[in-house]
Amino acid sequence: MKLIFSVILLLVIKFAISAANDKNKTFVLTTEWQQIEEGQILPSGVHVRVNLQTGKKEAKLLNNQEVNENNKIKGALVNVEENIYEASWKESSTKNKVKISKTLSEALKSLPKDSLGIEYSPEKLEQIKRDFKTYSELKESYKNLQKEFRSDGELITKLIDEYKNLSKENEEQPITLKTKINTQLRILEDLDYLVHQIDNALWFIGKGGLDEILLPLVVNETNINLRTKAVRLLGALTLNNPLAQIKVFEKNIGGYLAQILISSEHSEELSSALYAFGSLLRKFPLALQRILSTSGTQALVAVLAKKCELKVKAKSITLISDIIVEKKLVISNYAYSDSPSAAAQYAELNLQEWLHLSGFCETVDSLVSSQLYELLEQPDLTEYFAIGLENAAEICESVWSKSAELRHTLLTIKNRYMRTNNEFHVEVAQQIEKVVKILYSLNHRDEL
């Protein structure tokens, strides 16, 4: 089973290498099967198969008909503006790239430049060499793996069996609890990679993976590492995958995720739960209605109020903000189109009332007002908050426009960032300025 783990590593390293080379290796999807070249990055939500003649992997888009059929099956999911999430994903991945090089060079700037002008610490160089070595080794194991398994489906079935075998008593070869947990973690990790592909995710569910592996882990598991990994797998399973979203929704897993968001104190677990929650809810008005009108909104607001890392809170406000934007987009795009029922479903989402009842506006006010120094130091998080504030301004205007502390915090950050020479800081300052204008300019124009 080491082999399978290797494949994941291979993919991770491939990603790292292609990002580092800064070559354009994004796989351009079409509705025809195309070979996946080495180092290419696949988006989620695609068909993947191994071409048995060439032994190479191929991928293609779901065609529109399939997408439509998927959606029609229960009429539950809406095909929102295809690209809003992809767009924000791209944006954030470009940013991450910038960030990575920034931190690398910042961390190492005390070292003398070598003749290429590349600043790497000796440890980093060692690591890069190690990675490259592993990379060529992994390429070999991956070839062997392809021979061993004809398809990802076989691989998934085998992983599920292996997982189930772990809970059977084996008197000849009893295993320790630690070994068992480590094996479970490894299997979940392998599956996490595999289920990013739509077909694989559905295969996993069809083989009982949801009922026999994920549900018990999410609901009853006491080991936090296992629970966190399972929740993350759930997110991968449902990301951009309407049929999987429906299956997961039908098991009431949204309610369990809300429970985790309310009760957990661990940043890592909260972060996974937000990822899974977002994957489950996006573009799925029925789930949004059922889950957010009950404990869901309260759960998201609870994260903003608890003692956990600020970046987790940034994720929570971003999810709320995405949902507000999604509703607006669908209503404006579908009201006069041939799919008015989508707009009608979204119109019934009473986000304003749910957010007010959960104390969202007050919570965000005191959170942002109390985090001035953290926000000054973390412009990337500040940007998430600024975008969240802008998108929720309509809902919270009555509270936020009266808050002197919030206004002071926003203006201080804006002024500080505006005065730097850093392009990104200035961008964030401009984003904050937009929020300030919406909230305060009508009444206090001259004070700005």
Ligand X SMILES: *[C@@H]1O[C@H](CO)[C@@H](O)[C@H](O)[C@H]1NC(C)=O
Owner of token pair 């299997």: 187
β-bridge pairing 57-61 and 46-50 = antiparallel
Report the residue from 24, 65, 337, 421 that binds ligand X according to the rule CB under 6 A: 24
Please report whether residue 94 would count as binding ligand X according to CB under 6 A: no
21 binds ligand X (CB under 6 A): no
Applying the rule CB under 6 A, the residues between 26 and 85 that interact with ligand X are 26, 28
219 binds ligand X (CB under 6 A): yes
Sign of the alpha-carbon torsion through 92, 93, 98, 99: positive
Q: Which residue has the tokens 């992994």?
A: 138
Q: How far apart are CA 192 and CA 159, in angstroms?
A: 11
The residue among 415, 418, 425, 422 whose CA lies nearest residue 381 is 425
- Are 155 and 3 contacting, i.e. CB atoms less than 8 angstroms apart? no
Interface region with ligand X, contact rule CB under 6 A, candidates 120-128, 154-162, 282-290, 403-411: 154-162
Q: How far is the CB of 184 from ligand X (least distance, A)?
A: 13
**Near ligand X in 159-198, by CB under 6 A:** 161-162, 165
CB of 379 to ligand X, least distance (A): 27
Pinpoint the alpha helices (H) of 292-359.
297-305, 310-334, 340-347, 351-357
* Longest Cα–Cα distance in the chain: 81
Output the smallest distance, CB 217 to ligand X, in A: 9
**By rule CB under 6 A, what count of residues binds ligand X?**
11
Residue of the chain from 220, 222, 398, 421 that contacts ligand X (CB under 6 A): 220
Cβ 3 vs Cβ 141: under 8 Å: yes
Rounded to whole angstroms, how far apart are CA atoms 353 and 350?
6
Cβ closer to ligand X: 161 or 348?
Answer: 161
**For ligand X, which is the closer residue by CB, 28 or 177?**
28
Using the minimum distance from each CB to ligand X, give the nearer residue, 230 or 236. 230
How would you class 173 by CB atoms within 10 Å of its CB: exposed for 0-12, middle for 13-18, buried for 19 or more? Answer: exposed
Per CB under 6 A, contacts with ligand X among 365-394 are none
Of the pair 58, 162, the CB lying nearest ligand X is at 162
**Tokens encoding 35:** 């070979």
- Considering beta carbons, is residue 93 or 420 the nearer one to ligand X? 93
Q: Among residues 165 and 443, whose Cβ is nearest to ligand X?
A: 165
For the bound state, the minimum distance from the C-beta of residue 43 to ligand X, rounded and expressed in Å, comes to 9
Sign (positive or negative) of CA dihedral 191, 196, 198, 199? negative
Q: Which is nearer to ligand X, 29 or 335 (CB)?
A: 29
**Shortest Cβ distance from residue 130 to ligand X (Å)?**
30
Nearer to ligand X, 84 or 305 (CB): 84
Three-state secondary-structure class, residue 29:
coil
Who contacts 313 (Cβ-Cβ below 8 Å, separation ≥6)? 303, 304, 367
Least distance to ligand X, CB of residue 383, Å:
24
Q: Work out whether 215 is an interface residue with ligand X (CB under 6 A).
A: yes
Q: Is 268 in the site for ligand X (CB under 6 A)?
A: no
**C-alpha to C-alpha distance for 74 and 70, rounded to whole angstroms:** 8
User: Measured from the CB of residue 214, what is the shortest distance to ligand X in angstroms?
Assistant: 9
Give the helix/strand (H/E) hosting 404: helix 404-418
End-to-end CA distance of the chain, in Å? 62
Which is nearer to ligand X, 276 or 413 (by Cβ)?
Answer: 276
Among 49, 139, 158, 207, binds ligand X (CB under 6 A): 158
Interaction site with ligand X (CB under 6 A):
24, 26, 28, 158, 161-162, 165, 215-216, 219-220
